[in-house]
Amino acid sequence: MRSTHGAPAESSNLPTPASALVIAAHPDDAEFQCGATLAKWARLGTKIHHLVLTDGSKGTWNPEADQGALVARRQQEQRSASEVLGGRGRVVFLGEVDGDLHADDPTTKAVCRALREIRPEVILAHDPWKRYRLHPDHSAAGELTVNAIVAARDPFFNPDQIQEGLETHRVASLLLFEPDEVNHVESVSETDVDLRVAALETHTSQFETTHFHKLDPGGSAESVLEEFRRQQRSVLAAAGDLHGGGFAEEYHLIQDQL
Ligand SMILES: [Zn+2]
């Protein structure tokens, strides 16, 4: 099943949902992991919402950086990325401290509230079971997501939210990105790949630390940007090659327990 064996995924291309919510640990994670899928669905009419769990305040290598300014800048970058993707939905920031995200009760409850308010048909999120993933916020974000999905659907979880007028909500599909085991792919067009790259390029504060890290700077800033674009295309083309050609993004799909 794992794509390293080159086996085709078990399923592909969900029916276009009416709404989708991507839950990301940091601003830019969504675009890096599922940007082309979001662009495809937005083109087809899906309302795309973003929930970003942390404030992104550690996303710099400059120890002199003004973290408050960085948080504000990254929120604006995330809103711009959503616009580039054609999202049309809400962009919500939970505001947990970057690097200090935990799947504790208060944070799970806050994510549960967001699910009951936004009421998405599909959720895209980090895989909490991904092996060898170093950043603790990513596994915590995945764990928070699955815990909140379970809580949101039943009235005796966080009943105070029900009493104040929110209704329970059951998600139809969960797509875990950067999956430990691939069992589903979304095929995307060249246009969707270009939109993913364009959305990533709105996160200019992250060019040095994330986007261009380990790319050969070569000569000009333009050449490293070109290399970034080539790298992004090749990542999605490689996934496409494993699963029937073209471009694709890989997931672990969960539906049966929802
Ligand atoms: Zn991240």
Give me the pLDDT at residue 31, please.
97
Region 84-93: what's the mean pLDDT?
A: 97
The answer to whether 7 and 1 are in contact (CB under 8 A) is: yes
Give me the pLDDT at residue 210, please.
79
Cα gap 246→73, rounded to integer Å? 35
- Rounded distance from Cα 99 to ligand 1 centre (Å): 9
**Tell me: the pLDDT tens digits for 39-61?**
999 999 999 999 999 999 998 89
- Rounded distance from Cα 54 to ligand 1 centre (Å): 9
CA geometry: angle 188, 192, 196, nearest 5 deg: 120
Task: Give CA separation, 119 vs 64, 88, 95, 151, 168, in Å.
Answer: 40, 15, 20, 13, 9
- Rounded distance from Cα 74 to ligand 1 centre (Å): 12
Give me the pLDDT at residue 213, please.
77
Cα gap 28→52, rounded to integer Å? 9
Whether the pLDDT of residue 214 is over 90: the answer is no
- The residue ranges of every structural domain in the chain are 3-254
Look up the pTM and report it.
0.94
Cα gap 103→24, rounded to integer Å? 14
Nearest CA to 22 out of 70, 92, 117, 99 is that of 92
Cα gap 106→26, rounded to integer Å? 19
- Rounded distance from Cα 41 to ligand 1 centre (Å): 22
Give me the pLDDT at residue 219, please.
64
- Rounded distance from Cα 159 to ligand 1 centre (Å): 31
Give me the pLDDT at residue 6, please.
55
- Rounded distance from Cα 135 to ligand 1 centre (Å): 7
Whether the pLDDT of residue 1 is over 80: the answer is no
- Rounded distance from Cα 32 to ligand 1 centre (Å): 9
| Ion ligand 1 residue ranges (Cβ < 5 Å) | 25-26, 29
Give me the pLDDT at residue 4, please.
46
Give me the pLDDT at residue 215, please.
79
- Rounded distance from Cα 209 to ligand 1 centre (Å): 11
Both tokens assigned to 37: 């899928």
**Tell me: the pLDDT tens digits for 109-167?**
999 999 999 999 999 999 999 999 889 999 999 999 999 999 999 999 999 999 999 99
Cβ neighbour number for residue 110 with a 10 Å cutoff: 17
Domain 3-254, what architecture?
Answer: 3-Layer(aba) Sandwich (3.40)
Task: Give CA separation, 7 vs 37, 127, 181, 239, in Å.
Answer: 21, 20, 12, 11
- Rounded distance from Cα 223 to ligand 1 centre (Å): 25
Give backbone dihedrals phi and psi of 110, rounded to 5 degrees, phi first. Answer: -65, -40
- Rounded distance from Cα 207 to ligand 1 centre (Å): 14
SS3 of 247, please?
A: strand
The answer to whether 7 and 184 are in contact (CB under 8 A) is: no
What average pLDDT does the chain have?
A: 93
- Rounded distance from Cα 26 to ligand 1 centre (Å): 5
- Rounded distance from Cα 25 to ligand 1 centre (Å): 5
Buried b (16+ CB within 10 A) or exposed e, 162-179: eeeebebbebebbbbbbb
Give me the pLDDT at residue 77, please.
96
Nearest CA to 249 out of 2, 1, 13 is that of 13
